[in-house]
Amino acid sequence: MGHNLYQMVTGATSISSQAVNNTTVNGSAILEPWKEGHQIVFVMNIGALPGATSMTYTIQGRLRSDGATWQTLKDASANNLALAGAKFDAGGASENSTLLATLRCDAVDSGTYEAVRIIAANSAAAAAIVGISHIIWDVYSRPTSQTDEIFAVQIGL
């Protein structure tokens, strides 16, 4: 192996595990991740989604121009970068599971945005338990190799 797998990533908590009901919980700001690595992986630990739970997870960018305004990021087809729908509602496939969502850092306009974050919203009164961490993968200070990437897949990452 060319590199230690755990030296090729940095990570932190985006949203600490908590009940989300009738509210939006903002994840922590990840400042200029494109300066650190190639992609962000959001590790979403989702517990029970009771009652009429209707969850939406959205990726946002903070405007560099004012340093305060958050906007929902868009994909190349101008669709919101959001996870929503039946899979994220009560009884859906995401209930009591762990999901991975990735964002290529080079896809974020670093001239427009200075930070990114994930938010979790639940429009129902029933409390959903959600916790989200993020990992910046393939950090520039310790670039991966094909061997390391295959190894990461083999161990289940």
Domains belonging to the chain, first-starting first, are: 5-154 (2.60.120)
How distant is the alpha carbon of residue 112 from its chain centre? Answer: 19
Q: What is the pTM of this model?
A: 0.82
Read off the pLDDT band of 53 (50, 70, 90).
Answer: confident
pLDDT value at 153 more than 50: no
What is the tens place of the pLDDT at every residue in 105-139?
A: 888 999 999 999 999 999 888 888 899 999 888 77
Residue 58 and residue 61: Cα distance in Å, rounded?
A: 10
For 96, residues 6+ apart whose C-beta sits below 8 A from its C-beta are 46, 47, 48
Q: Supply the pLDDT for residue 141.
A: 66
| pLDDT class of 143 with cuts at 50, 70, 90 | low
Task: Tell me the C-alpha to C-alpha distance, in Å, between residue 111 and each of 64, 108, 125.
Answer: 7, 9, 39
1, 106 contact by CB (below 8 A)? no
Q: Which residue has the tokens 């990992």?
A: 135
Average pLDDT of span 16-22: 89
Of 111, 103, 94, 91, the closest CA to residue 135 belongs to: 103
